[in-house]
Chains A and B, each alone.
Chain A
Amino acid sequence: MISKKLIVPLLLLLFTVSNAQDLFLSGYARTYLGALTTGESEYSIIQNTFDLNLEHSRGDVYFKVNPFLYHYSDKDLELGFRQAYMDLYFDSFDLRIGKQQIVWGKADGVFITDIVSPKDMREFLLPEFSEIRVGVTSLKFNYYLGSSAFELVWIPVFTPTQMPDQNSIWGVKPDYPLPYSFNYANTDVKDKLSNSEVFAKYSLLSSAIDFELMAAYSWDDDPAFHSEKILNAASGIVDSIIIKPEHHRLTTLGGSFSTTIGPAVLRGEGAFNNGKHFQSTNPLSAGGTEEKNYFHYLLGVDYNIGDLRLSSQFIQQAIMDYDDFLINDEFENTMTFLASMDFLRETLNVELFTYIGLNDGDALIRPKVTYDFIDGFEIMFGANLFVGDEGQFGRFDKNDMVYTKIKYSF
């Protein structure tokens, strides 16, 4: 985030740069207003966004800078770079250097092998996916051989998931039976070469099937919540807890595929993760967590019925060597469902996207209607409806909202 004092010089710089020869400018301005449907219908968000892409190429060299600005009615102005990188193109390989969003896998709205760019979860899963993924400063090398590609990513500095503030309606309060406090002494991963992250992927795009194989030696973007019980010296019993968030190394092996079967597209994605620390209630577990391996996989199908586009996915997270002290379920099952249809020569789109938590019977239902008033100018009305009392969606049951977005693209 950049202070307000820097805004004017930055805008002047952008103006100057935008006058540079052959520089291509594109982007959008957007107003986003959301109101809760519960309580006193408070506004959940009032946000104005300006997102700019500046691009320039010279022969086999290309650069792109994507600054963004979020203006809120009740928060500080937020200004940053979603991406800022250079590309160097060679006959059979490319290099991309700088801050970049990297997306892997075949899943929609689910992150299984798509773990290179961390997520901005400050508004849960509600922002556009281009805004959920946080750009990371990295070096990306791609080597191409026909329809095959090998990709290697080196991220020298770890970036964790951006979590909501404790006061945010998206904040999740820890569930401990005793008073607790946080100690962040071990939370930051020190910036040094040995703390780098490395990701590798092989991909093939062919008539019969597209697939990716990936491996990663990274940090878990989400911290493990280690806990320390504090004994009351006088009474000799535990009377409070200190929570110590800490990131751990994670090793991941995975892959994904998509293929066409008749009129449908079948997709799959899976990953084996080694080294995840799960929260445990086992009194013997050190620090309130246990290290377990887990599988995370998905099967999905996309198909059309006339002009109606449908898509469904089943996702399972399965913890290996499970014990009953873990807070997480051994198997956590989720489904997604998408229905989308265009009208009025594809200027009006009606869409329903739903996450369904099968373990807790909770859901996030997201209907929306988008109308392209004129080319590049759209107005959207939608709702985010949380169903259930617990689970990853049900816990936000009080956050049901309706919203509108007006977006001008140029």
Chain B
Amino acid sequence: MKLTKIIMTLLVFAIGITIHAQENLTGQKIIENVYYRETGEDATSELTMTLINSRGDERVREIKQYSKDFGKEEKSIMFFQAPADVRNTSFMNWSYDEEGKDDDQWIYLPALKKVKRISSDSKSDYFMGSDFTYDDLGDRHPSEDTHKLLREEKLNGEDCYVVESIPKEENYMYSKTVVWVSKDKWIGLKKEFYDEDGDHLKNLTVEKYDKIDGFWTILHSVMHNIQKDHRTIMNLKDVKLNTGIDDNMFTERMMKRGI
């Protein structure tokens, strides 16, 4: 199984705080507001990803995840609970504010009984065979795209900005994305992805969110690959913020010991 990104990415994707809507915002500013929203000092949650193929067959991945902001670096650790053949596998990521500094990543495979340093995966890789890439999970910096506010409209009763983002990098896996950003929560409620040929590739829809410990949290979302008719359902539960996770949670000791 390929393991890539980390909790922090997932939670950055999932959690937002309320910032009052401002008038005359540009597309760039809207995306920055989404990217830079505060997410708390630390977070704990249980993630269930259900991968559904075109025949309706399901595969379920369950992960317990912890993350903490250490100032200039963010550390996160994942413990895989299911399926059975990956149980007790753990994955740790340290990411840095320093521009150009790559994440450090380690994996612990219980069969090998050792912690192994791995190189940061390509941000275009899919996370655990799901329909989410790392970039989809929220780690893409606003400066990597050119953003344009297309319009303002309601989505499921929510006032939203609709922003189109076109990558500056040539040959990026998407030619453009279009996101519906809630005006008062600064979370993306829907996103369309277009492939390199400009064809509609995927839709991300947020189906449930709630305010937990003062932070808006997406609890249920679905990524649908239209071209292959894959779906990935992402459910977060037992989300806890600012609980004061011990610094020692993000160590080799805990990777081996598990939870």
- Residues from chain B with a CB closer than 8 A to the CB of A304 are 119, 121-122
Chain A residues lying within 8 Å of B186, measured Cβ to Cβ, are none
Check if A375 sits within 8 Å of B251, measured CB to CB: no
Q: B residues within 8 A CB of A9?
A: none
Chain A: which residue is nearest B127 at the CB level? A346
Per-position 1/0 for A288-328, Cβ under 8 A of B: 00000000000000111011000000000000000000000
Is the CB–CB distance between A265 and B117 below 8 Å? yes
Contact A144 B129, CB 8 Å, known A345-B53, A409-B83: no
> Quick check: is B245 within 8 A (CB to CB) of the other chain?
no
Per the CB 8 Å criterion, the residue count for chain B at the interface is 40
Q: In this assembly, does B29 line the interface, its C-beta being within 8 Å of a C-beta of chain A?
A: no
Tell me whether A345 and B251 are in contact (CB under 8 A): no
Whether A161 is near chain B, meaning CB under 8 Å from some CB there, is: no
The residue from B114, B115, B119 contacting A260, defined by CB atoms under 8 A apart: B119
Residue B166 at the chain A interface, CB threshold 8 Å: no
Contact of B106 with A by CB under 8 A: yes
Nearest-neighbor residue (CB-CB) of A101 within chain B: B113
A130 interfacial contact with B, CB 8 Å = yes
Known contacts A130-B111, A342-B2: A376-B119 contact under CB 8 Å: no
**A253 CA to B96 CA in the complex, in Å?**
35
Contact A129 B87 (CB under 8 A): no
Whether the pair A345, B114 counts as a contact (CB closer than 8 A) is no
- Check B119 against A147 for contact (C-beta < 8 Å): no
B85 touching A378, Cβ below 8 Å: yes
Q: Are A258 and B1 in contact (CB under 8 A)?
A: no
Contact A302–B118 (Cβ < 8 Å): yes
Q: Are B113 and A346 in contact (CB under 8 A)?
A: no
Q: Does A184 count as interface, using CB distance less than 8 angstroms?
A: no
Residues of B close to A378: CB separation below 8 A:
85
With A101-B113, A376-B85, A409-B83 already in contact, the answer to whether A144 and B119 are too (CB < 8 A) is: no
Q: A103-B113, A205-B115, A409-B83 are in contact. Are A346 and B129 (CB under 8 A)?
A: yes
- Nearest Cβ distance between residue B124 and chain A, in whole angstroms? 9
Residues in B with CB closer than 8 Å to A302 are 118-119
Q: How far is the CA of A207 from the CA of B72 in the complex (A)?
A: 13
Option from A94, A130, A205, A372 in Cβ contact (under 8 Å) with B252: A205
Residues of A within 8 A of B106 (CB): 205, 210
Overall SS of chain B's interface: mixed
Question: Is B94 part of the binding interface, using a Cβ–Cβ cutoff of 8 Å?
Answer: yes
In the assembled complex, the Cα of A87 lies from the Cα of B84 at a distance in Å of 23
A264 contacts partner chain B, Cβ-Cβ < 8 Å: yes
B168 within 8 A of A: no
Residues of A close to B141: CB separation below 8 A: none
A128 close to B111 (CB less than 8 A)? yes
**Given A26-B84, A304-B122, A409-B84, CB of A144 within 8 Å of CB of B248:** yes
Contact across chains for A376 and B84 when beta carbons are under 8 A apart? yes
A142 at the interface (CB under 8 A from B): yes
Closest Cβ of chain B to A274, distance in Å, is 25
Do A346 and B128 contact each other (CB < 8 Å), given the known contacts A260-B119, A375-B60, A378-B85?
Answer: yes
**0 or 1 for each of A126-155: is its CB under 8 Å from B? (1 = yes):** 001110010000000010101101000000
Please determine whether B113 and A130 come into contact, CB atoms closer than 8 angstroms: yes
With contacts A259-B117, A265-B117, A265-B118 taken as known, whether A346 is within 8 angstroms of B1 at the C-beta atoms is: yes
- Known interface pairs A142-B253, A265-B118, A375-B83. Does A345 touch B51 (Cβ–Cβ under 8 Å)? yes
B104 interfacial contact with A, CB 8 Å: yes
B237 at the interface (CB under 8 A from A): no
A410, CB-defined interface residue at 8 Å? yes
Chain B's closest residue to A340 (CB) is: B2
In the complex, the answer to whether A345 meets B118 with C-beta atoms within 8 Å is no
Report the minimal beta-carbon distance from A68 to chain B, rounded to whole angstroms.
14
Given A260-B120, A376-B84, A409-B84; 14 other pairs, CB 8 A cutoff: A26-B87, A28-B85, A103-B112, A105-B114, A128-B111, A149-B252, A258-B116, A259-B117, A260-B102, A264-B119, A345-B59, A374-B59, A376-B85, A409-B83
Q: Which A residues form the contact surface with B (CB < 8 A)?
A: 26, 28, 87, 89, 94, 101-106, 128-130, 133, 142, 144, 146-147, 149, 203, 205, 207, 210, 258-260, 263-265, 267, 302-304, 306-307, 342, 345-347, 372, 374-376, 378, 407, 409-410
